[in-house]
């Protein structure tokens, strides 16, 4: 990139001021250290040519290296021109945000968000008040002084455990539960200690149940979604390619809205209608001026360690929550920890256990649950089998070869929901496949499905015989979708990760949309499950399965 060097003559002193004007803001320019340099820099900041106001300016083409721009003997200082916002920090801010599209600076309106962050604390305190009333009117007699002390102390204990701290991008559910439990435990211990000082006025057998009610109330409201909360406004900072990927990722959730972006280089193409400013170093200022909730920095090309550290200082000074992108995909926070080694801050990613005591517990518990369910549901299963046999020609159970853990094949059982000639008819329906990628075959209104089969699929009853596969150890209650051998033959690297564990009757793919998901989405969910497996994740999926079955989404 070439630079234009201008020698500007002062109208009174007649002495030249050498300036190098870059084609793109945010790059170094060279100026002689005098008062005229600041004036010219301000003109650059407003988008005017530095020499437009100086008729006597002599313009030359300069080298990209500032030290070679002007003749020898001229003392120069290298100045890194920040984005437009900082150069005019001493001037009144323009009414609209400065936005860069390619090499042009244009204006774009940025709407101000309406903050309703008070809804969450208000919901917590309202639930606490209701719990306090219920607990005290349900038989517990609490002294007025002790009641006032509880009303004052409970929010203080919650605040002391960081419950009311604003975390725009959220935090793991387990961490939130831990904060409430620690607050409740602390208040309970305080009640025991108060009994020693004030005696019967703070009887532990009366106050501790009240504290338990308060804790339960905040747990319920704290984990439940609060209606009316506005989405989190995020400003992205990083290389244009990284910003573009982050925009696409955040667009999949209604919780986040990208308000603006600060890029380390001029993007090759506009980032849609998103306001963009060239220069990462001043992303904290952009976050503050756009009234956004968080700043997300994406380390990469053009974002150095020094830039990150200085940006952290700016964010801290502006009161802007700062988040750093890790580059990791679908990694649970519980698997990640930051450690220091040789003066470097590094992030350790722990692998999900593929064997060991927790896996043994999962296997034993699932087999026992499956065996018990088969015994309890045996009359219902027999009735369904008879309905399938009488509904259409063919067997009541459908046996199909599937691929299990480590590529081992097994025979999976299902209630038959299609005609007995469904396999032969699939070739004729191949062009109607509604799943992108062509790896799996799904049609929303498949003509091969029998009338009773449609009902069984709608309520996932056809999957119940797979409990026998769980009892025999071929499948799990929770796991990735069991794949056909011809599907596995078409797998590339990522989908093969699904074969690291046993397939399951239900899983993230089922509770997230089932057949409505694209091939890429189903693979990503299954790989996410494999990489982040835990017993609590299995329990969560089993609970969500009930809602997914009743909702019928993707059940066809």
CATH number assigned to the domain comprising residue 266: 3.40.50.20
The pLDDT of residue 43: 40
The pLDDT of residue 107: 37
The distance from CA 135 to its chain's CA centroid, rounded to whole angstroms, is 38
- What residues does 392 pair with on adjacent strands? none
When pLDDT is cut at 50, 70 and 90, the band that residue 202 belongs to is low
SS3 489: coil
Q: Are residues 507 and 408 in the same domain?
A: yes
Domain end point (choices 313, 329, 345)? 329
Residue 472 domain-assigned?
Answer: yes
The distance from CA 217 to its chain's CA centroid, rounded to whole angstroms, is 27
| Contact (CB, 8 A) for 44 and 81 | yes
| Contact (CB, 8 A) for 296 and 234 | yes
Both tokens of residue 357?
């005591």
Most confident of 73-77, 170-174, 325-329: 325-329
| Contact (CB, 8 A) for 222 and 180 | yes
Q: Are residues 199 and 267 in the same domain?
A: no
When pLDDT is cut at 50, 70 and 90, the band that residue 438 belongs to is low
The pLDDT of residue 210: 84
For residues 272-299, give the mean pLDDT. 88
536 against 76, higher pLDDT: 536
Q: Are residues 472 and 536 in the same domain?
A: yes
Residue 259 domain-assigned?
Answer: yes
- What residues does 104 pair with on adjacent strands? 101
Residue 32 domain-assigned?
Answer: no
The pLDDT of residue 199: 64
Q: Are residues 531 and 463 in the same domain?
A: yes
Q: Are residues 407 and 540 in the same domain?
A: yes
Taking the C-alpha atoms of residue 157 and residue 145, their distance in angstroms, rounded to an integer, is: 18
H/E element, 246: helix 240-250
49 pLDDT higher than 90: no
- What residues does 294 pair with on adjacent strands? 234
Q: For tokens 């150095």, what's the residue?
A: 304
Q: Are residues 313 and 362 in the same domain?
A: no
- Which tens digits make up the pLDDT trace of 395-422? 899 999 999 999 999 999 999 988 887 7
Nearest-CA neighbor of 458 among 439, 441, 445?
445
The distance from CA 389 to its chain's CA centroid, rounded to whole angstroms, is 47
Q: For tokens 């032969």, what's the residue?
A: 424
Both tokens of residue 524?
């990503």
Most confident of 296-310, 463-477, 521-535: 463-477
H/E element, 234: strand 232-238
Q: What is the count of structural domains for the chain?
A: 3
Residue length of the chain: 556
Taking the C-alpha atoms of residue 344 and residue 297, their distance in angstroms, rounded to an integer, is: 19
Domain end point (choices 329, 348, 369)? 329
For residues 39-63, give the mean pLDDT. 34
- What residues does 414 pair with on adjacent strands? 398
Domain end point (choices 223, 243, 269)? 223
Residue 125 domain-assigned?
Answer: yes
Residue 274 domain-assigned?
Answer: yes
When pLDDT is cut at 50, 70 and 90, the band that residue 103 belongs to is very low
108 pLDDT higher than 50: no
Q: Mean pLDDT of all residues in the chain?
A: 75
551 pLDDT higher than 50: yes
Q: In the chain, what percentage of residues exceed pLDDT 70?
A: 73
* DSSP letter, residue 465: G
When pLDDT is cut at 50, 70 and 90, the band that residue 435 belongs to is low
- Which tens digits make up the pLDDT trace of 503-520? 999 999 888 877 678 888
Q: Are residues 375 and 472 in the same domain?
A: yes
Q: For tokens 């409970």, what's the residue?
A: 154
The region of weakest confidence among 24-33, 136-145, 273-282, 315-324 is: 24-33
Residue 40 domain-assigned?
Answer: no
The pLDDT of residue 51: 30
Q: Are residues 321 and 444 in the same domain?
A: no
User: Could you tell me the strand order of the sheet in which 16-21 lies?
Assistant: 58-62, 3-9, 16-21, 28-31, 77-80
The pLDDT of residue 47: 37
SS3 400: strand
Q: Are residues 299 and 380 in the same domain?
A: no
Nearest-CA neighbor of 220 among 248, 170, 189, 180?
180
Residue 15 domain-assigned?
Answer: no
Question: Rounded to whole angstroms, what are the CA distances from 461 to 281, 414, 467, 529?
Answer: 57, 9, 11, 24
Q: Are residues 277 and 322 in the same domain?
A: yes
H/E element, 80: strand 77-80
Taking the C-alpha atoms of residue 543 and residue 530, their distance in angstroms, rounded to an integer, is: 18
Both tokens of residue 166?
């604003």
Q: Are residues 459 and 497 in the same domain?
A: yes
**CB proximity list for 102: less than 8 A, separation 6 or greater:** 266, 267, 270
The region of weakest confidence among 188-197, 408-417, 469-478 is: 188-197
Residue 376 domain-assigned?
Answer: yes
Half-sphere exposure of 239 (CA within 13 A, CB side): 10
Q: Are residues 398 and 529 in the same domain?
A: yes
The region of weakest confidence among 52-66, 126-140, 163-177, 244-258 is: 52-66
Q: Which domain holds residue 210?
A: 118-223
């Amino acid at each position: 990139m070439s630079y234009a060097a201008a020698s500007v003559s002062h109208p009174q002193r007649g002495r030249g001021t050498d300036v190098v004007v870059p084609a793109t803001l945010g790059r170094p320019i060279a100026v002689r250290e005098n008062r005229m340099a600041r004036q010219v820099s301000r003109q650059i900041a407003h988008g005017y040519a530095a020499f437009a106001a100086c008729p006597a300016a002599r313009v030359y083409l300069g080298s990209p290296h500032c030290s070679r721009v002007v003749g020898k003997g001229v003392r120069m200082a290298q100045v890194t021109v920040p984005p437009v916002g900082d150069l005019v920090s001493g001037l009144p801010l323009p009414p609209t945000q400065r936005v860069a599209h390619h090499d042009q600076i244009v204006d774009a309106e940025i709407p101000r968000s309406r903050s309703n962050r008070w809804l969450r604390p208000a919901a917590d305190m309202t639930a606490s008040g209701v719990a306090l009333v219920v607990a005290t009117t349900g038989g517990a007699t609490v002294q007025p002084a002790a009641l006032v002390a509880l009303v004052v102390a409970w929010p203080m204990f919650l605040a002391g455990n960081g419950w009311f701290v604003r975390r725009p991008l959220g935090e793991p559910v387990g961490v939130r539960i831990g904060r409430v439990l620690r607050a409740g435990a602390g208040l309970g211990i305080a009640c025991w200690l108060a009994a020693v000082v004030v005696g019967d006025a703070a009887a532990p057998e009366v106050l501790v149940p009240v504290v338990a009610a308060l804790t339960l109330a905040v747990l319920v409201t704290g984990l439940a979604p609060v209606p009316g909360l506005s989405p989190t406004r995020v400003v992205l900072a990083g290389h244009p390619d990284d910003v573009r990927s982050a925009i696409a990722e955040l667009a999949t959730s209604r919780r986040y809205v990208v308000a603006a972006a600060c890029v380390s280089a001029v993007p090759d193409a506009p980032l849609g209608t998103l306001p963009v400013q060239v220069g990462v170093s001043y992303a904290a200022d952009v976050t503050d001026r756009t009234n956004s909730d968080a700043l997300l920095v994406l380390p990469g090309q053009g974002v150095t360690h020094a830039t990150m550290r200085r940006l952290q200082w700016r964010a801290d000074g502006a009161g802007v929550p700062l988040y750093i992108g890790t580059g990791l995909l679908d990694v649970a926070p519980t698997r990640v920890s930051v450690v220091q080694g040789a003066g470097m801050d590094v992030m350790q990613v722990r692998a999900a256990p593929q064997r060991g005591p927790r896996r043994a517990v999962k296997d034993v518990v699932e087999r026992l649950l499956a065996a018990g369910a088969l015994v309890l549901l045996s009359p219902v299963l027999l009735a369904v089998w008879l309905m399938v046999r009488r509904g259409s020609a063919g067997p009541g159970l459908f046996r199909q070869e599937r691929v299990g853990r480590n590529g081992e094949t097994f025979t999976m059982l299902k209630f038959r929901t299609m005609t007995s000639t469904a396999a032969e008819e699939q070739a004729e329906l191949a062009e109607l496949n509604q799943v992108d990628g062509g790896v799996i075959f799904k049609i929303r209104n498949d003509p091969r499905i029998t009338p009773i089969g449609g009902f069984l699929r709608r309520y996932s009853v056809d999957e119940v015989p797979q409990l026998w596969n769980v009892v025999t150890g071929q499948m799990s209650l929770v796991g990735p979708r069991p794949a056909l051998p011809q599907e596995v033959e078409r797998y590339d690297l990522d989908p093969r990760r699904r074969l690291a564990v046993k397939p399951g009757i239900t899983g993230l793919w089922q509770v997230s949309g089932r057949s409505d998901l694209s091939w890429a989405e189903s693979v990503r969910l299954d790989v996410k499950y494999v990489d982040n497996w835990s017993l609590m994740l299995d329990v969560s999926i089993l609970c969500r399965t009930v809602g997914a079955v009743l909702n019928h989404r993707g059940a066809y």
